[in-house]
Amino acid sequence: LNNNSSIRSVRQGLTDNGLSLRFYLHDYLTFPSNRNYPGIVVFTHHHDEVHTAADFQLIQPGQFYMITFRKENYTSLGGSYERCTNEMLSDQAYLMSKGFGENDYGYDQSLCVNLCELKFIYRACGCVPLLHFPIEKLLVNGELKSVSYCNINDSSINNIVKEQMEIFRSTNYQQTCPHCLKKCSSSKYNLFVSSLQAPAHTHIDQLVKEVEKLAAKTNISLPNDFYSNTLEHFRMNYVEMVITAKNNYFVSVSTQQPAYTFPMLIADLGGFLGS
Protein backbone atom coordinates (compact mmCIF):
# COMPACT_ATOMS: atom_id res chain seq x y z
CA LEU A 1 0.00 0.00 0.00
CA ASN A 2 3.06 2.24 0.03
CA ASN A 3 4.42 4.35 -2.79
CA ASN A 4 7.34 6.79 -2.84
CA SER A 5 5.31 9.60 -1.30
CA SER A 6 3.63 7.55 1.43
CA ILE A 7 6.70 5.86 2.91
CA ARG A 8 6.92 7.86 6.07
CA SER A 9 8.67 8.36 9.33
CA VAL A 10 6.51 7.81 12.40
CA ARG A 11 6.80 10.59 14.94
CA GLN A 12 5.35 11.32 18.38
CA GLY A 13 6.07 14.88 19.34
CA LEU A 14 9.76 15.46 18.67
CA THR A 15 10.69 11.76 18.88
CA ASP A 16 11.42 9.89 15.66
CA ASN A 17 9.90 6.42 16.06
CA GLY A 18 11.11 4.92 12.81
CA LEU A 19 9.86 3.90 9.39
CA SER A 20 6.26 2.77 8.81
CA LEU A 21 5.45 0.38 5.93
CA ARG A 22 2.29 -1.38 4.78
CA PHE A 23 2.05 -4.09 2.11
CA TYR A 24 -0.72 -5.98 0.34
CA LEU A 25 0.89 -9.06 -1.21
CA HIS A 26 -1.69 -10.34 -3.77
CA ASP A 27 -0.67 -13.87 -2.88
CA TYR A 28 -3.01 -15.43 -5.46
CA LEU A 29 -0.92 -13.83 -8.25
CA THR A 30 2.50 -15.07 -7.12
CA PHE A 31 4.48 -17.56 -9.17
CA PRO A 32 4.67 -21.16 -7.91
CA SER A 33 7.90 -21.87 -6.06
CA ASN A 34 9.50 -24.41 -3.77
CA ARG A 35 8.41 -22.28 -0.83
CA ASN A 36 4.88 -23.00 0.32
CA TYR A 37 4.43 -19.84 2.37
CA PRO A 38 3.78 -16.18 1.47
CA GLY A 39 5.57 -13.37 3.25
CA ILE A 40 8.35 -10.82 3.25
CA VAL A 41 12.05 -11.14 4.06
CA VAL A 42 13.44 -8.18 6.04
CA PHE A 43 17.14 -7.33 6.06
CA THR A 44 18.79 -4.52 8.01
CA HIS A 45 22.28 -3.41 7.08
CA HIS A 46 24.51 -0.35 6.88
CA HIS A 47 24.00 1.83 3.80
CA ASP A 48 27.43 0.96 2.38
CA GLU A 49 27.05 -2.79 2.95
CA VAL A 50 25.08 -5.45 1.08
CA HIS A 51 22.77 -7.62 3.16
CA THR A 52 23.77 -11.23 3.82
CA ALA A 53 21.46 -14.23 3.80
CA ALA A 54 22.30 -14.98 7.44
CA ASP A 55 20.84 -11.77 8.89
CA PHE A 56 17.13 -11.58 8.17
CA GLN A 57 13.63 -11.93 9.61
CA LEU A 58 10.63 -13.61 7.97
CA ILE A 59 7.47 -11.51 8.08
CA GLN A 60 4.12 -13.26 7.57
CA PRO A 61 0.80 -11.72 6.47
CA GLY A 62 -2.01 -10.93 8.88
CA GLN A 63 0.32 -9.28 11.40
CA PHE A 64 1.51 -5.89 12.61
CA TYR A 65 5.23 -6.00 13.40
CA MET A 66 7.33 -3.79 15.59
CA ILE A 67 10.93 -4.34 14.51
CA THR A 68 13.55 -2.62 16.62
CA PHE A 69 17.27 -2.78 16.04
CA ARG A 70 20.42 -2.01 17.97
CA LYS A 71 23.42 -0.88 15.99
CA GLU A 72 26.89 -2.17 16.80
CA ASN A 73 30.06 -0.77 15.21
CA TYR A 74 33.11 -3.02 15.08
CA THR A 75 36.68 -1.88 14.43
CA SER A 76 39.65 -4.20 13.97
CA LEU A 77 43.12 -3.27 15.17
CA GLY A 78 44.61 -3.99 11.75
CA GLY A 79 48.29 -3.31 11.13
CA SER A 80 50.64 -5.83 12.70
CA TYR A 81 47.91 -7.21 14.97
CA GLU A 82 45.44 -8.50 12.37
CA ARG A 83 45.30 -8.28 8.59
CA CYS A 84 42.18 -6.52 7.36
CA THR A 85 41.07 -4.34 4.46
CA ASN A 86 38.40 -1.93 3.29
CA GLU A 87 39.56 -1.97 -0.34
CA MET A 88 37.37 -3.41 -3.11
CA LEU A 89 38.82 -5.10 -6.17
CA SER A 90 37.53 -3.99 -9.56
CA ASP A 91 35.22 -6.97 -10.14
CA GLN A 92 33.43 -6.40 -6.83
CA ALA A 93 33.13 -2.69 -7.62
CA TYR A 94 31.72 -3.57 -11.06
CA LEU A 95 29.25 -6.04 -9.55
CA MET A 96 28.09 -3.44 -7.03
CA SER A 97 27.56 -0.78 -9.68
CA LYS A 98 25.63 -3.14 -11.98
CA GLY A 99 23.54 -4.81 -9.33
CA PHE A 100 22.91 -1.97 -6.91
CA GLY A 101 23.32 1.22 -8.93
CA GLU A 102 25.58 4.12 -8.09
CA ASN A 103 25.27 3.77 -4.32
CA ASP A 104 28.50 4.18 -2.41
CA TYR A 105 28.99 0.56 -1.33
CA GLY A 106 32.12 -0.58 0.45
CA TYR A 107 34.20 -3.74 0.58
CA ASP A 108 32.37 -6.95 1.53
CA GLN A 109 34.28 -10.07 2.59
CA SER A 110 31.53 -12.58 1.74
CA LEU A 111 31.14 -11.17 -1.77
CA CYS A 112 34.91 -11.30 -2.18
CA VAL A 113 34.90 -15.02 -1.33
CA ASN A 114 31.96 -15.66 -3.69
CA LEU A 115 33.80 -13.94 -6.54
CA CYS A 116 36.97 -15.86 -5.69
CA GLU A 117 35.03 -19.13 -5.99
CA LEU A 118 33.73 -18.11 -9.41
CA LYS A 119 37.29 -17.29 -10.53
CA PHE A 120 38.43 -20.70 -9.26
CA ILE A 121 35.78 -22.40 -11.40
CA TYR A 122 36.41 -20.12 -14.39
CA ARG A 123 40.09 -21.04 -14.54
CA ALA A 124 39.13 -24.71 -14.86
CA CYS A 125 36.03 -24.40 -17.07
CA GLY A 126 36.36 -21.15 -19.00
CA CYS A 127 32.85 -20.25 -17.86
CA VAL A 128 30.99 -19.45 -14.64
CA PRO A 129 27.87 -21.11 -13.17
CA LEU A 130 24.90 -19.01 -12.13
CA LEU A 131 25.81 -19.72 -8.53
CA HIS A 132 25.61 -16.74 -6.20
CA PHE A 133 24.40 -13.89 -8.41
CA PRO A 134 24.32 -12.87 -12.09
CA ILE A 135 27.74 -11.59 -13.14
CA GLU A 136 29.23 -10.23 -16.35
CA LYS A 137 32.89 -9.63 -15.49
CA LEU A 138 35.59 -11.14 -13.29
CA LEU A 139 39.05 -9.92 -12.34
CA VAL A 140 41.33 -12.66 -13.75
CA ASN A 141 45.13 -12.26 -13.62
CA GLY A 142 44.76 -8.55 -12.93
CA GLU A 143 42.41 -7.97 -15.88
CA LEU A 144 38.66 -7.35 -15.72
CA LYS A 145 37.32 -9.90 -18.23
CA SER A 146 33.85 -10.53 -19.64
CA VAL A 147 32.71 -14.06 -18.80
CA SER A 148 30.00 -16.37 -20.11
CA TYR A 149 27.76 -18.75 -18.20
CA CYS A 150 28.33 -22.49 -18.26
CA ASN A 151 25.92 -24.58 -20.35
CA ILE A 152 23.75 -26.35 -17.79
CA ASN A 153 22.76 -28.92 -20.43
CA ASP A 154 26.37 -30.06 -20.89
CA SER A 155 26.91 -32.86 -18.37
CA SER A 156 30.71 -32.84 -18.78
CA ILE A 157 30.88 -29.11 -17.91
CA ASN A 158 28.49 -29.60 -14.99
CA ASN A 159 30.67 -32.37 -13.60
CA ILE A 160 33.77 -30.16 -13.77
CA VAL A 161 31.89 -27.30 -12.10
CA LYS A 162 30.72 -29.55 -9.24
CA GLU A 163 34.22 -30.94 -8.83
CA GLN A 164 35.78 -27.47 -8.65
CA MET A 165 33.13 -26.31 -6.16
CA GLU A 166 33.91 -29.29 -3.91
CA ILE A 167 37.64 -28.60 -4.12
CA PHE A 168 37.18 -24.90 -3.33
CA ARG A 169 34.80 -25.47 -0.42
CA SER A 170 36.93 -28.21 1.10
CA THR A 171 39.95 -25.91 1.41
CA ASN A 172 40.52 -22.92 3.65
CA TYR A 173 39.41 -19.84 1.71
CA GLN A 174 42.18 -17.85 3.42
CA GLN A 175 44.68 -19.91 1.43
CA THR A 176 42.73 -19.91 -1.85
CA CYS A 177 41.64 -16.26 -1.54
CA PRO A 178 44.30 -14.49 0.57
CA HIS A 179 43.02 -11.10 -0.63
CA CYS A 180 39.56 -11.69 0.95
CA LEU A 181 40.51 -10.29 4.32
CA LYS A 182 38.27 -9.37 7.17
CA LYS A 183 36.76 -5.88 6.87
CA CYS A 184 38.58 -3.41 9.12
CA SER A 185 35.40 -1.66 10.21
CA SER A 186 31.80 -2.81 9.94
CA SER A 187 28.33 -2.33 11.38
CA LYS A 188 25.85 -4.90 12.60
CA TYR A 189 22.17 -4.49 13.43
CA ASN A 190 20.70 -6.83 16.03
CA LEU A 191 16.95 -7.24 15.45
CA PHE A 192 14.18 -7.56 18.04
CA VAL A 193 10.76 -8.48 16.64
CA SER A 194 7.30 -8.47 18.23
CA SER A 195 3.92 -8.77 16.50
CA LEU A 196 0.13 -8.60 16.86
CA GLN A 197 -2.64 -9.87 14.61
CA ALA A 198 -3.68 -7.28 12.02
CA PRO A 199 -5.64 -5.55 10.68
CA ALA A 200 -8.21 -4.72 13.33
CA HIS A 201 -11.86 -5.15 12.33
CA THR A 202 -12.44 -1.41 12.79
CA HIS A 203 -9.91 -0.62 10.03
CA ILE A 204 -11.15 -3.06 7.38
CA ASP A 205 -13.47 -0.64 5.56
CA GLN A 206 -10.74 1.97 5.13
CA LEU A 207 -8.21 -0.64 4.02
CA VAL A 208 -10.65 -2.03 1.44
CA LYS A 209 -10.82 1.42 -0.16
CA GLU A 210 -7.01 1.65 -0.23
CA VAL A 211 -6.65 -1.81 -1.79
CA GLU A 212 -9.26 -0.85 -4.41
CA LYS A 213 -7.21 2.25 -5.28
CA LEU A 214 -4.05 0.15 -5.43
CA ALA A 215 -5.71 -2.40 -7.71
CA ALA A 216 -7.01 0.34 -10.02
CA LYS A 217 -3.63 2.04 -10.17
CA THR A 218 -1.70 -1.16 -10.92
CA ASN A 219 -4.36 -2.82 -13.13
CA ILE A 220 -4.48 -5.81 -10.79
CA SER A 221 -7.87 -7.48 -10.57
CA LEU A 222 -9.13 -8.49 -7.13
CA PRO A 223 -10.29 -12.10 -6.63
CA ASN A 224 -13.97 -12.83 -7.18
CA ASP A 225 -14.61 -13.54 -3.49
CA PHE A 226 -12.70 -10.49 -2.20
CA TYR A 227 -15.82 -8.74 -0.85
CA SER A 228 -17.46 -11.89 0.54
CA ASN A 229 -14.25 -13.04 2.29
CA THR A 230 -12.60 -9.68 2.96
CA LEU A 231 -11.13 -10.49 6.37
CA GLU A 232 -9.67 -13.78 5.17
CA HIS A 233 -7.96 -12.03 2.23
CA PHE A 234 -6.43 -9.45 4.55
CA ARG A 235 -5.21 -12.16 6.91
CA MET A 236 -3.49 -13.79 3.90
CA ASN A 237 -2.08 -10.65 2.25
CA TYR A 238 -1.84 -7.63 4.55
CA VAL A 239 1.38 -6.81 6.42
CA GLU A 240 2.14 -3.70 8.46
CA MET A 241 5.40 -2.91 10.18
CA VAL A 242 7.30 -0.18 11.98
CA ILE A 243 11.10 -0.34 11.95
CA THR A 244 12.87 1.75 14.56
CA ALA A 245 16.08 2.03 16.55
CA LYS A 246 15.99 0.50 20.02
CA ASN A 247 17.76 3.58 21.32
CA ASN A 248 18.25 6.61 19.08
CA TYR A 249 21.11 7.98 21.13
CA PHE A 250 23.39 5.01 21.84
CA VAL A 251 25.42 2.79 19.51
CA SER A 252 27.41 -0.19 20.83
CA VAL A 253 31.06 0.16 19.85
CA SER A 254 33.37 -2.87 19.80
CA THR A 255 37.06 -2.21 19.26
CA GLN A 256 39.75 -4.85 19.38
CA GLN A 257 42.33 -4.37 22.11
CA PRO A 258 45.89 -5.76 21.90
CA ALA A 259 46.54 -8.58 24.33
CA TYR A 260 50.19 -7.51 24.64
CA THR A 261 51.29 -3.89 24.25
CA PHE A 262 54.67 -2.17 23.96
CA PRO A 263 54.53 -0.73 27.52
CA MET A 264 53.83 -4.27 28.79
CA LEU A 265 56.89 -5.50 26.88
CA ILE A 266 59.11 -2.76 28.42
CA ALA A 267 57.78 -3.59 31.87
CA ASP A 268 58.46 -7.30 31.40
CA LEU A 269 61.98 -6.61 30.11
CA GLY A 270 62.63 -4.33 33.06
CA GLY A 271 61.47 -6.97 35.49
CA PHE A 272 63.55 -9.63 33.72
CA LEU A 273 66.74 -7.52 33.70
CA GLY A 274 66.26 -6.48 37.31
CA SER A 275 65.84 -10.04 38.57
Where is mean pLDDT largest: 85-99, 144-158, 257-271? 144-158
* 12 pLDDT above the threshold of 70: no
Same-domain pairing of 68 and 194? yes
Confidence of residue 3 (pLDDT cuts 50, 70, 90): very low
Nearest to 166 by CA among 174, 178, 158: 158
pLDDT digit string, tens, across residues 226-264: 999 999 999 999 999 998 887 765 665 666 555 555 555
Same-domain pairing of 262 and 216? yes
Q: Check residues 271 and 220 and name the one with the higher pLDDT.
A: 220
* 160 pLDDT above the threshold of 80: yes
pLDDT digit string, tens, across residues 75-88: 887 666 778 888 88
- In contact, 65 and 195? CB cutoff 8 Å: yes
Same-domain pairing of 91 and 179? yes
pLDDT at 118: 93
Q: Check residues 105 and 177 and name the one with the higher pLDDT.
A: 177
Cα dist. 162→94, 123, 172 in Å? 26, 14, 17
Same-domain pairing of 139 and 164? yes
Structural domain containing residue 234: 1-76+187-275
pLDDT at 209: 94
Judge whether 82 lies within some domain.
no
Of 183, 204, 221, the one marking the end of a domain is: 183
End-to-end Cα distance, the chain: 77
* 57 pLDDT above the threshold of 70: yes
How high does pLDDT run on average in the chain?
80
Q: Check residues 267 and 220 and name the one with the higher pLDDT.
A: 220
pLDDT digit string, tens, across residues 161-210: 999 999 999 988 888 899 999 888 888 888 889 999 999 989 999 999 99
Of 183, 200, 233, the one marking the end of a domain is: 183
Judge whether 81 lies within some domain.
no
pLDDT digit string, tens, across residues 108-141: 888 899 999 999 999 999 999 988 778 888 988 8
| Sign of the Cα pseudo-torsion (148, 149, 153, 154, in order) | positive
Same-domain pairing of 153 and 166? yes
- Which residues have a Cβ under 8 Å from the Cβ of 191 and sit 6 or more positions away? 42, 44, 55, 57, 67, 68, 69
How many domains is the chain built from? Answer: 2
Same-domain pairing of 172 and 94? yes
Same-domain pairing of 191 and 139? no
Of 148, 183, 218, the one marking the end of a domain is: 183
Same-domain pairing of 205 and 175? no
pLDDT digit string, tens, across residues 60-69: 999 999 998 8
Judge whether 247 lies within some domain.
yes
Same-domain pairing of 32 and 106? no
pLDDT at 207: 94
